[in-house]
Amino acid sequence: MPAGNVPRVTRGRPDVEVQQLRRTFQVAERDAGLVAALRGLGRRRTREVTAVDGVSFRVDPGEVVGFLGPNGAGKTTTLKMLTGLLHPTAGEARVLDAVPWRREPAFLARITLVMGNRNQLQWDLPALDSYEMNRSIYRLPPASFRRDRDDLVELLGIGDLVRKPVRTLSLGERMKAEIVGALLHQPQVLFLDEPTLGLDLVMQRRIRTFLAEYNRRRGATILLTSHYMADVEALCSRVLLIDTGRLLFDGSLRALADRFQARQTVTVTLADHAADLSGQMSGYGEVVQAEGGRVVLLVERERTSAVAGRILAEHRVDDLTIEDPSIEDVIERAFAGGAAS
């Protein structure tokens, strides 16, 4: 890991602070067909689309925060504003004490943005050449650059790949090479937009482990969007839920589960495998599966203990388990409910 075991930094104030951030786009629209096209010659019809609608949050130093939402929710637009790629329509933001869209070099040198669907390396050259360019762009001292580069390359296990033209690498290999390039300048705040998009499970896990390690050793702040809940569960202590440009929830995964996880799954395996007890079991909760003496029930959280006790008392039970629903289910439920935080 670059710079060795650097202790977690205590910076006290937020690294990212956003207040009432809003971004709208003017989108041209017309009906299909020639008549509509001809009508559009006279007056162009546009519609204002609000991508981000008054979002406020803060991210403290060293935090890893998941930024979650369905497609078109406003996640990427927010990240683009926080990295200075987009100017907001309204609102305020500060990242590392800088207004991102002023794009001051000192600010840009302390952040990075990794986009899972975008290539920032020179396509026709080995990644090593792009890394060398990054050294000159970020004005890194050659000796520390080489040390950090080699450490990152080793940590991600791409020693053989960085000498091959980027265009010959697989998606996963390229993403790892991208991440090395994005971290060479030791950014203080990492904005990661779907960093594991399209990767196989092994590769996803490797990148997650790497990011967790980077955060642990450097104390870097990470704001991460991902559609893979495994990323979020492995990395994020806190999540922001956004939908239609509005922030629905801001809190820990535990708090999210408590809020939206209304029911738990109770799985009962009865001693009498041949018994068809689904009718009787429906009195305990919603039966979602009943087969060969095994019954799966959904039970309101506050009733789970009592229901489990009743089942054990009233039936001969071989096995009984109580599980929380998956984080995917919780988040799906949150978006379905559109609950405010």
Partner 1 sequence: MTAAPLTRAPTPTVPWGGPGRRGPRHLLDFYLTTARTAIAEQFQYRAANYAYMIGMVVEPVVYLVVWTTVAKAEGGAVGGVTAGDFVAYYIVWTLVRNMNIVFTPYGWEERIREGHFSALLLRPMHPLHFDLAYFAGWKVVVIILWLPIAALLSLAFHPTFSLTWARAGAFVVAIWGAYLVRSLVLWLLGMLTFWTTRVSAPFELFFTLELLLSGRLVPLTLMPDWAQSIAAWTPFPSTFGFPIDTLAGNLDGPELARGLGVQLLWVLIGWGLVRLTWPRAVRRYAAVGG
User: For binding to partner 1 (CB under 8 A), which residues are involved?
Assistant: 2, 6-7, 9-15, 17, 19-20, 25, 54, 56, 61, 80, 83-87, 91-94, 96-97, 101, 103, 105-113, 115, 118, 120, 122, 124-125, 129-130, 132-133, 135-141, 148, 184-188, 219
* Least distance CB 307 / partner 1 (angstroms): 44
CB of 283 to partner 1, least distance (A): 49
Q: Which is nearer to partner 1, 121 or 256 (CB)?
A: 121
The single residue listed with the structure tokens 């091959």 is: 164
Alpha carbon of residue 338 to chain centroid = 19
Nearer to partner 1, 106 or 313 (CB): 106
DSSP 214-256: HHHHH--EEEEE-S-HHHHHHH-SEEEEEETTEEEEEEEHHHH
Residue placing its CB nearer to partner 1 in the complex, 80 or 263: 80
CB of 19 to partner 1, least distance (A): 4
Query: Could you tell me the two tokens for 294?
Result: 């095994």
Q: What are phi and psi of 214, to 5 degrees?
A: -60, -45
Residue whose CB is less far from partner 1, 25 or 30: 25
Shortest distance (Å) from residue 77 CB to partner 1: 9
Q: How many CA atoms lie within 13 A of 117 on its CB side?
A: 5
| Gap between the Cα atoms of 60 and 135, Å rounded | 28
Min CB(70)–partner 1 separation in Å: 17
Task: List the beta bridge partners of residue 251.
Answer: 239
The nearer residue to partner 1, 21 or 229, going by C-beta atoms, is 21
Instruction: Work out how close the CB of 232 gets to partner 1 at its nearest, in angstroms, rounded to a whole number.
Output: 24
Q: How far apart are CA 126 and CA 124, in angstroms?
A: 7
Query: Which CB, 90 or 201, lies closer to partner 1?
Result: 90
For the bound state, the minimum distance from the C-beta of residue 125 to partner 1, rounded and expressed in Å, comes to 5
DSSP bridge partners of 291: 294
> Under DSSP, is residue 52 helix (H, G, I), strand (E, B) or coil?
strand
Angstrom distance (rounded) from CA 54 to CA 91: 7
What is the spatial distance between Cα 116 and Cα 122, in angstroms, rounded to a whole number? 16
Cβ-Cβ contacts under 8 Å for 320 (sequence gap 6 or more): 266, 267, 268, 269, 308, 311, 312
Distance CA 153, CA 159 (A): 6
